[in-house]
Amino acid sequence: MPYMMAGYPDWESSSAVAEAYAESADLVELGVPFSDPLADGPTIHAAATAALAVGATLETALEICEEIGERVPVVFMVYANMVLAHGGADVFARRALAAGAAGAIVPDLPLEEAEGVRTAFDDAGLALVPLVAPTTPAERRARICAAARGFVYVVSTVGTTGERDELPAELAGLISATKEDAEVPVAVGFGIGTPGQAAEVGRVADGVIVGSRLVRAAGEAGSADAAAEAVGSFLRETRVALGS
């Protein structure tokens, strides 16, 4: 499940990356540019800032979703402010679904405040995907998993998104515990930046999410064609490592 930032580094490159993802991904995580992306580290934060600077908006993300949504499931990564500021959860859910989205991750929406959004998404047929972290207490993790739609997003490590040299030793235990609690698939993100790391996670999780590594590749490519080739090459290598 590769991540991309809508509109980064520009519309043409963003569209080309989306096309490359549609050819190689099982799901796509589509970031909506936002000025205060609290869960995101320097690479994705910078991508959001750059996308906003060239005029990217929620509409940009919806257009990208429309481009690929019929070929691969798309899950928005969107902050609560963006949901509430664009007509509220009902309107956002309907617009996302009309664009072809399958779900949305709202990382700054806590369990205690999620019921209204979840209901609106359920009514529209859009999955609200929750997150659990290494610091999530077991009882709370069970409640989050019970309310999960689509899949559970396991945050591999404490902190923000970004590439890391190695994965936490305790990650396998967290994945196993989450799978026991969840009735939906369990996918893991944050810190996965190489095909080898993806394969390591893939041995125990149902899904592997790669973000900053691919955003960096798109930003460094220099052209739309080069961006598509860079991310496509990484995804092909990762599929080989995963044995899929």
Residues annotated as catalytic (active site), given as ranges? 29, 40
Tokens 């600077």 -> residue:
53
In whole angstroms, give the CA distance from residue 70 to residue 150: 17
Task: Determine phi and psi for 198, rounding to 5 degrees.
Answer: -60, -45
What DSSP element (H or E) covers 4? Answer: strand 3-5
Which segments within 101-234 are labelled E, that is strand?
103-105, 127-129, 131-132, 152-155, 186-189, 207-208
Task: Determine phi and psi for 81, rounding to 5 degrees.
Answer: -60, -40
Q: 190-223 burial by CB neighbour count: b if 16+ within 10 A, else e? A: bbbbbbebbbbbbeebbbbbbbbbbbbbbbebee
In whole angstroms, give the CA distance from residue 3 to residue 181: 25
Helices (H) and strands (E) counted in the chain, each on its own, are 11, 9
Give the alpha-carbon dihedral of 53, 211, 162, 110, to 10 degrees: 90
